[in-house]
Amino acid sequence: MLDNVALNNSVLEPEPQKWGSGTSMSEKLLQFIWQFQYFNKTHLSTAAGEKLELIHPGKLNSNQGPDFTDARIKIGNTIFAGSVELHLKTSQWYMHGHQSDANYKNVILHVVYENDKVENHLPLLVLEPLISNILLNRYTGLMNSPSFIPCASSIAEVKELIWMSWKERLLAERLTRKSKIVEQFLEKNNYHWEETFWWMLARNFGMKVNAEAFEAMAHSLSVNLLAKHKSQIHQLEALLFGQAGLLNEDFKEDYPAMLKKEYNFLKKKYALQPVAVPVHFLRMRPTNFPSVRLAQLAMLIQNSAHLFSKILGTEKVSEIRSLFNVTANDYWHYHYRFDEISEFRKKNLGEVMINNIIINTIVPLVFAYGIYHNEVKYKDKALKWLEEVTAESNSITKGFIQLNIANKTAYDSQALIELKNEYCFHKRCLECSVGNAVLKNT
């Protein structure tokens, strides 16, 4: 795990300094260079001409105070232990008010890119003449790259060992972030894991277009209420379709008319308030119509009890697939929408949709369960399941495939999506293990 590549995001950066070829120096880049000692360390000396030996550059500090702590240096014959502060210019020590800040009393070395001749009582090391132009130009190339990702021309050269550890880190970051969403749901329902699973599952069934509407529908129908009607599929459909606002028309066919009548009774019985978020059919494949997904969801509810508890107890993805192997009731074999007859086709959930549910609902929730209960086995299980599911195919994964980056399982595709969206898009190359490897190859 390459935790030491994470740079300090809290630093308020001054204007970047320019050098030849339009390249810009920033404090993040200066931190990176100092942290990994990518400068000429032979015959170091302070600005005052004293011999300087770097014993340890220190640990990057992400909290308030100097940039690096626990550093050790030797000036002349004396060894100093303490903190190191970095700036683009010497004068920024005073611009930032460090001279009167108690957090900086332990600084043993001031490291700058450029010495603008401002007096400072601290030993001063100027890095500008010690940094390779090759590294600077390579960094400039990354920052100015118009490609799919900044390191498109070099990424295929990165060693597999680096990729393995970095993918694991990317997935941990992705799932930890999603776990915070799970925690928000848990706070809303008094830490009811089955209820939280129901909310997330319903949102997943809504796909991107109807995710918000399906989640709102799920919030309006508790798992306890749905459990009371498990034995009657038409009652489950009435509740789901009615709360989603799909039973408001005057229907020609008997089945939707019956659902509407059933819903009006249940609505009054439970004082239900239909959700205000509308569902949409436009620009969707018929198999993804909200009507079909709601019918499948109703059948899944009827066929299962304590579904999340069952999932926690499973070990193999094949067991999960069997739990979700459902088909909407007979009416939907000839329909995609109410009152519109179509050719016969069983509306089974399908492998692609089940994979989607495993990736976007089950894995994040099981991983969050492991975090909440401090149970590593659940986090490991979630990651293992991703390795057993077919990789996603989208514009991001296709872009990486064109760069000869493997995308064999959902473990790969989820890591690549995280890399593209959270690192490449924001050009966080200095915080990326792949970006680090590209820069090191000088």
Mind listing the pLDDT tens digit for each residue in 148-173?
999 999 999 999 999 999 999 999 99
Amino acid 2: pLDDT? 35
Amino acid 121: pLDDT? 84
Amino acid 52: pLDDT? 97
CB atoms within 10 A of CB 249: 11
Encoded tokens for 441: 């190859």
Pairing, β 59-60 against β 107-114? unpaired
Q: Is the pLDDT of residue 15 over 50?
A: no
C-alpha separations of 253 from 136, 263, 281, 289, 294 in Å: 71, 16, 20, 19, 18
> Nearest 5 degrees, angle CA 94-CA 12-CA 431?
130
Residue 55 sits at φ, ψ, to 5 deg, of -85, -45
Rounded Cα distance, 302 and 226, in Å:
9
Q: What is the mean pLDDT of residues 49-55?
A: 96
Rounded Cα distance, 225 and 303, in Å:
16
Rounded Cα distance, 127 and 37, in Å:
11
pLDDT tens digits for range 227-269? 999 999 999 999 999 999 999 999 999 999 999 999 999 999 9
Percent of the chain with pLDDT over 70: 94
Rounded Cα distance, 186 and 174, in Å:
19
Rounded Cα distance, 442 and 252, in Å:
73
Rounded Cα distance, 358 and 205, in Å:
12
Rounded Cα distance, 211 and 361, in Å:
12
Q: Using pLDDT thresholds of 50, 70 and 90, give the confidence band for residue 9.
A: very low
How many angstroms from the chain centroid is the CA of residue 433? 16
**Can you tell me whether residue 33 is helix, strand or coil?**
helix
Residue 108 sits at φ, ψ, to 5 deg, of -105, -15
Axis-axis angle for helices 207-220, 290-303 (nearest 10): 50
Which stretches does DSSP call E strand in 241-290? none
Rounded Cα distance, 214 and 294, in Å:
9
Q: What is the mean pLDDT of residues 66-71?
A: 97
DSSP 333-397: GGEEETTEE------B--HHHHHHHIIIIIHHHHHHHHHHTT-HHHHHHHHHHHHTSBPP-SHHH
Rounded Cα distance, 80 and 352, in Å:
61
Q: Are 34 and 58 within 8 A, CB to CB?
A: no
Rounded Cα distance, 339 and 248, in Å:
13
When the pLDDT of each residue in the chain is averaged and rounded to a whole number, the result is: 92
pTM: 0.85
Give the lowest-confidence range in 3-7, 84-88, 201-205: 3-7
Rounded Cα distance, 221 and 218, in Å:
5
User: Which helix (DSSP H) or strand (DSSP E) does residue 197 occupy?
Assistant: helix 193-205
Amino acid 22: pLDDT? 42
Amino acid 367: pLDDT? 98
Rounded Cα distance, 405 and 163, in Å:
10
